């Protein structure tokens, strides 16, 4: 699931910069570049942990915490035989190795991921995740996430506290988001709706804020099909990306910067970008 898509064409970012004409200055080229770098790094960290969170809640409700933990253990042992998988009480620890690592799903992983199942009842689920030096060879993540699922609310909540690094750059952030199925009958392949926020101290030591507003995302699409991301930089300037599906093969993305200047482009199903 692609949770964030901030890899914007340089020409579109350049269009949001320029000389100010009033008291509300536009985004500078340097600020635009920093926004892209920060958001992409945060996105990679989210993507790295998102799949692990999904696996950590893939069990039958009502089977109890111990049985749920056994199910997670058995999954990793069958799907990632190169990892060292252990179960103690209700905690599954997956060690992907330090030196040689573990090749899984086409990538070489290192570090550890521990999954503690606190509750797995009919009325709800509570799972704690801890990552220690967990990396896919590109981005490394350390930290925790608390995942809760409510049968009554029909939604999943993910609250994280993570440190991520890549190419010597490090950032730390927290976030809280809810996810619910777009179509319960269609399950996860039909897509999810995401709401929430994320705040982090970036690689330059400044604070960034990302608000996720009713974003609808499907696994088969390169970007969300509805909703908006609102990124606020350390200077208080905002970049908004809103999404609107035009047809099954095309999604319009509108990027709006300070003073309301905006550009719209179209992302095709194969990932190609076109100006609207």
Which of these ranges, 7-11, 23-27, 254-258, has the smallest mean pLDDT?
Answer: 7-11
pLDDT of residue 16: 58
Closest CA relative to residue 54, chosen from 211, 189, 197, 253: 189
Q: What is the mean pLDDT of residues 223-239?
A: 89
Instruction: Check whether 154 has a pLDDT greater than 90.
Output: no
What does pTM read for this prediction? Answer: 0.82
Distance (Å, whole) CA 48 – CA 43: 9
Distance (Å, whole) CA 148 – CA 213: 20
Going from N- to C-terminal start, the domains of the chain cover: 10-275
pLDDT of residue 24: 61
Closest CA relative to residue 56, chosen from 4, 95, 91: 91
Distance (Å, whole) CA 88 – CA 207: 38
Which of these ranges, 7-16, 43-52, 131-140, 158-167, has the smallest mean pLDDT?
Answer: 7-16
DSSP letter, residue 58: -
Instruction: Check whether 11 has a pLDDT greater than 70.
Output: no
Q: What is the mean pLDDT of residues 185-213?
A: 87
More confident residue, 20 or 58: 58
pLDDT, mean over the chain: 83
């Amino acid at each position: 699931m692609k949770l964030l898509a901030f890899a914007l064409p340089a020409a579109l970012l350049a269009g949001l910069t320029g000389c100010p004409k009033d008291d509300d200055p536009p985004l500078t080229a340097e600020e635009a570049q920093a926004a892209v770098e920060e958001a992409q790094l945060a996105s990679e960290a989210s993507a790295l942990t998102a799949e692990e969170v999904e696996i950590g809640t893939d069990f039958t409700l009502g089977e109890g915490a111990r049985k749920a933990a056994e199910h997670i253990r058995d999954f990793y042992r069958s799907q990632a035989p190169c990892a060292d998988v252990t179960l103690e009480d209700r905690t599954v620890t997956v060690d992907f190795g330090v030196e040689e690592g573990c090749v899984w799903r086409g990538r070489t992983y290192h570090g550890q991921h521990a999954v503690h199942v606190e509750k797995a009842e009919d009325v709800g689920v509570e799972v704690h995740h801890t990552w220690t030096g967990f990396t896919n060879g590109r981005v490394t993540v350390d930290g925790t996430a608390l995942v809760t699922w409510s049968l009554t609310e029909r939604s999943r909540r993910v609250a994280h506290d993570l440190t991520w690094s890549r190419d010597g750059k490090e950032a730390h952030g927290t976030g809280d988001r809810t996810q619910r199925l777009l179509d319960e009958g269609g399950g996860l392949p039909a897509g999810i709706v995401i709401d929430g926020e994320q705040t982090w101290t970036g690689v330059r030591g400044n604070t960034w804020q990302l608000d996720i507003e009713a974003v609808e995302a499907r696994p088969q699409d390169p970007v969300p099909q509805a909703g908006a991301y609102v990124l606020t930089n350390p200077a208080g300037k905002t970049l908004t990306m809103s999404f609107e599906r035009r047809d099954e093969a095309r999604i319009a993305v509108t990027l709006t910067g300070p003073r309301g200047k905006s550009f719209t482009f179209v992302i095709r199903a194969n990932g190609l970008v076109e100006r609207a």
